[in-house]
Chain A
Amino acid sequence: MRRFLRGIAIPALAVALWETGSRAGVLPMDTFSRPSDIAVAFAGAFADGSILVATWQTVEAALAGFAVAAALGILVGALLGLSPALERVVGPSIDAVRPIPSVALMPLTLLLFGFGLQMEAWVVAFACVWPVLLVTAAAVRGIEPRLHDVSRTLELPFASQLRRIILPAALGRIVVGLRVSVGISLVVAVTVEIVINPRGLGYGMIIAQQSLHPELMYAQLFWLGLLGWGLNVALTRAAGRWHAFAGADAEV
């Protein structure tokens, strides 16, 4: 309880100062707005559903991009992890493409797809694929060689090996990579919306700012923070439960 109060103390103080400062005219309304107004705008955005629509648009794009990235990342990562020769040949090309900032691809996908869900999802996919790919390759590469011996002695065909031994053994670490990717997907989606794409929460914030509704902008910002924080907590909880289920070996 004490820990909770301590954690809340400074933010609460800040909000109180903000409110009083605004009412006293010290903090200009057009830039700072006022916590009470923000709360009203927040409630209003939920009441008319606008924030929910925007949230869904953002989540949709993030999810779509993440799904593509996860599928590609795991597949290619597994192949690279299984074949050192393949990794040596393909690796440098991947290392050359990987450092491109995902945001630099925004104009490119805009050129290819125009405004909308697709261009955003592809930017998200590009950003999210690398953590998954690298972690999967490392996980598959690092599978206990004993298990490899066992599968060879049992003369398991490749598909069977993949299903029964390789993927389960690597799953623990792959999940960590997926977790990182999920976080990235949200951030990148919002970024694309803020800069170019007219949809989602990011765009909502820009519109609010441009149409001189700072209280709505701050409300959306707070909501975004809540989403990000909530996602983080959910992922950490899920990770904790996963480790308990899969045993100590899933760690690392």
Chain B
Amino acid sequence: MKHAGGEAARQGAEAQAAPALALRKVSMSFGPASADRVVLSDIDFQVAPGEFLCVVGPSGCGKTTLLRLLAGLIRPTGGEILFHGERVEGPSRDRAIVFQDYSKALLPWRTVSGNIALSLEACGVGEPERGRRIGALLAKMGLERAARQHPSQLSGGMQQRVQIARCLAQQPRLLLMDEPFGALDAITRQTLQDEVARLAAEHRMTVVFITHDLEEAIYLGDRVIALTANPGRIAEMIDVGIPRPRSQLETREDRRFLSHRHRLFGLLQGH
């Protein structure tokens, strides 16, 4: 893999060329005018195509709101969001979102295959191509044996895999993940972290990954944005600078990893 500095420089050049995401002075408030609750304020950053961006922050700092804005499920009260140069006006198949509460985001009455099929049906993919793609995704996410089971019969980790598979079926250019592994046990979490990192690299997807886990953010991200709460503002943007592929054991002991962790910890503690 290229040296960290070169990597960052190349990404910087790409970002100049055509950012996948550009947020310009984005702010978000809720509530009737007089009693507005400002959740996000003055959010301004860019994401290069193929970049893996992590966003960390304490609870209530507006991370989920930010993700929903990027998905187009809500519109910002101030500023604008550009996706590959075009204004984000609403949700799109191009920007897939993996929700935190996976059990609620899957269709309980469909099997695993059926859930994945939903995305393909929406994209207008007919048989036999549909069956082929489902098979490929099941294999990729290790879900072959669960193909005919219903979500309620699966563990949390498996359900989350199904959700990811369903999102991948959309063939999105942007993958948004809202604390996807928060409810899972440590081992499953680490396995899925590595899987997501591998998928992102393989498909060259742009990823925006929300988490409250600092180490997860540093481990997965090319860059990490730290948000503070009330209102949500960008406190810091850190270039992780650790080459890929990364490993759970070694990367976490890397001195760069530790220094970033130190820095972020201090930042978030202070608020």
Contact = CB atoms under 8 A, between A and B. Distances in A.
A: contact size bracket: 20 to 34
A249 B99 contact: no
A247 B122 contact: no
A150 B109 contact: no
A29 B97 CA distance: 77
Main secondary structure of the interface of B (DSSP, over half): loop
B121 interface: yes
Interface in A138-178: 144, 146-147, 149-150, 152-156, 160, 164-165, 168-169, 171
Interface of A: 144, 146-147, 149-150, 152-156, 160, 164-165, 168-169, 171, 246-250
Interface stretch (B48-56, B87-95, B201-209, B235-243): B87-95
Interface residues of B, number: 25
Given A147-B107, A149-B105, A154 B152 contact: no
A246 B104 CA distance: 15
Contacts of B72: 153
A194 to B, nearest CB: 42
Given A168-B107, A248-B152, A249-B108, A153 B92 contact: yes
Contact of A154 (B101, B104, B109, B122): B122
Contacts of A147: 104-105, 107
Contact of B118 (A154, A169, A246, A249): A154
B109 A149 contact: no
Contacts of B41: none
A52 to B, nearest CB: 39
Given A154-B118, A155-B122, A247-B152, A149 B97 contact: yes
A146 B73 contact: no
Contacts of A169: 107, 109
A153 B91 CA distance: 5
Contact of A146 (B71, B105, B118): B105
B96 interface: yes
Interface centre among B73, B96, B108 (most CB of A within 10 A): B108
B104 A144 contact: yes
Contact of A164 (B90, B118, B152): B118
Given A152-B73, A153-B96, A249-B152, A146 B104 contact: yes
B109 A152 contact: no
Interface string B69-112: 00111000000000000000011110111010100110111000
Given A155-B91, A164-B118, A164-B121, A150 B105 contact: yes
Contact of B107 (A152, A155, A160, A165): A165
B17 to A, nearest CB: 27
B155 to A, nearest CB: 16
A152 B91 contact: yes
Interface centre among A155, A165, A169 (most CB of B within 10 A): A155
B138 to A, nearest CB: 19
Nearest to A150: B105
Given A152-B73, A250-B109, 10 more contacts: A146-B101, A147-B107, A149-B97, A150-B99, A152-B90, A153-B72, A154-B119, A156-B122, A246-B108, A249-B109
Nearest to B166: A150
B65 to A, nearest CB: 13
